[in-house]
Amino acid sequence: MNETVKIFKYVTENTFDAYNWSILENKQKFIGQLMSGKNPSRSCEDVDEAALSYAEVKALASGDPRIIEMTDLDSQVTKLKLLKANHEGQRYMLEDRLIQFFPQAMRHRQEKIKGLEADLAVVQSHPQPDKDHFSIRVAGQTFTERKAAGQAIIDACTRMNDVSERVDLGEYRGFPLTLWADTNTQKFQVTMKQSLSHTIELGSDPVGNIARLDNALAAIEEELQNTRADLENLTAQMEEAKVEVKRPFPQEQELNEKTSRLNVLRIALNMDGKSTGKRKRETEELDGGKPSIKGMLKRLGVESAATASPPQKGKDMEVAIE
C-alpha cells in the first residue's frame, strides 16, 4: 500500500453537487458554532429534513447564479455577524470595566499611594542606623547590637504557644512590630505597620533578620513609584476605553447591505417556489381547460342544481306541500 496518497474532490458545475456541498457547509457551521462558542445566534441547528423547493431544484438544474450568490453572501454575512458579536462583546466588557474595574482599581491605587507616602515620611525621619547608632526594642528590651536583637526575635518565636497568636514584638525605626505564624508557609513573620503593613519572613540568621527589616523599609520608596506608575497607566487605559466603547462596528454598513441582498435572494427563490406550486394547483382545478364549477362547489360542500338528485316522494314531501 502507498504510504502517501492524494485525495481529489471533484465538483461538477450546474449539477446536484451544489446542494450536496451546501449540506456539508451547514453541518460544518453547526459543528463550528458548538466548538468555538462564538455563535451569534441564540441557538444552533443541524441540517433538517426539509425537501428542496421547486425553485432550488430548478436553480440547481439550470445553473441559476442566484444560488451561488446566495451561498457566498450567506457565508459572508455569517462572518460579519461573528465579527459584530465579538465587537459587541468587547464593548460590553469595556463598559463593565468603566463602571466597576477602573474606579475600584484607581481608588485602591490612590489609597495605597497615600499610605506609602505617609510611611515613607516615617522612614525618612528614622534613617537606617549605622553600626554605632543601631537601636531596636524587642519584648520590652532595647538592643544596640544587631546579632543580639535578631536572636531576641528568634527567642520570641520559641515562646509562642498558638499559631493563631499575634504578639506585639516591639518597635523599630518608628514602626511597631508584630510577630505571627503563617500557617500556609509554616514560617514566622514580622509585620511593621504605620499606615500600611510591611511584612518579612524570618530566617535562622539573627543578623539577617534585622537586615530583612531594613530592606523592607527601603523598598517603600520604590513601591510608591511603581504604584504611581500603575495609577497613570490605569488612567490612560480608562481614557482609551471611553473612546473605544463609543466606536461603532466598522463593517455595519457592509453587513446591512449584504443582509438585505441575501433576504432579497431568499424571497425571490421562495416566490419562485410558491409560483410553481400555485400553477400546479390551478392545473388541478381545470376541467378541459376551463374552470370547474363542480369542483369549486364540491369544496363548498354543496352540489350543482343541475346535477342534484330530485327529492323523493313521501312523508317529507307531503309536509312540504301542506
Q: Is 50 exceeded by the pLDDT of residue 273?
A: yes
Which residue from 202, 199, 178, 175 is spatially nearest to 188, judged by alpha carbons?
202
Residue listed under C-alpha cell 363542480: 294
- What are the grid coordinates assigned to 28, written together? 460544518
Looking at residue 264, its pLDDT comes to 93
Looking at residue 4, its pLDDT comes to 84
- Burial class of residue 98 in the structure, from the number of CB atoms within 10 Å of its CB (0-12 exposed, 13-18 middle, 19+ buried): middle
- Burial class of residue 232 in the structure, from the number of CB atoms within 10 Å of its CB (0-12 exposed, 13-18 middle, 19+ buried): exposed
Q: How far apart are the first and last CA of the chain?
A: 102
Residues 6+ apart with CB under 8 A from 60: 14, 15, 16, 18, 19, 52, 67
Range with the lowest mean pLDDT among 139-143, 163-167, 312-316?
Answer: 312-316
Range with the lowest mean pLDDT among 5-19, 84-98, 117-131, 217-231?
Answer: 5-19
Residue listed under C-alpha cell 492524494: 6
Which residue from 285, 280, 306, 282 is spatially nearest to 295, judged by alpha carbons?
285
Q: If you average pLDDT over residues 315-322, what whole number do you get?
A: 40
Q: With bands split at pLDDT 50, 70 and 90, how would you rate the model's confidence at 322?
A: very low
- What are the grid coordinates assigned to 254, written together? 457592509
- What are the grid coordinates assigned to 133, written together? 547608632
Q: Is the distance from CB of 259 to CB of 84 less than 8 angstroms?
A: no
Looking at residue 103, its pLDDT comes to 96
Looking at residue 174, its pLDDT comes to 96
Looking at residue 252, its pLDDT comes to 94
- Torsion from C-alpha of 28, 32, 34, 38, nearest 10 degrees: -140
Express as a percent the part of the chain with pLDDT over 90: 55
Strand segments, DSSP code E, in the chain are 136-138, 141-143, 166-172, 175-182, 187-193, 197-201, 286-287, 290-291
Q: Is 60 exceeded by the pLDDT of residue 44?
A: no
Which residue from 240, 263, 303 is spatially nearest to 94, judged by alpha carbons?
240
Rounded distance between C-alpha atoms, residue 136 and residue 214, angstroms = 12
**What amino acid occupies position 198?**
H
Rounded distance between C-alpha atoms, residue 189 and residue 312, angstroms = 117
Looking at every residue in the chain, the average pLDDT score rounds to: 81
Looking at residue 19, its pLDDT comes to 66
196-255: pLDDT as tens digits: 999 999 999 999 999 999 999 999 999 999 999 999 999 999 999 999 999 999 999 999
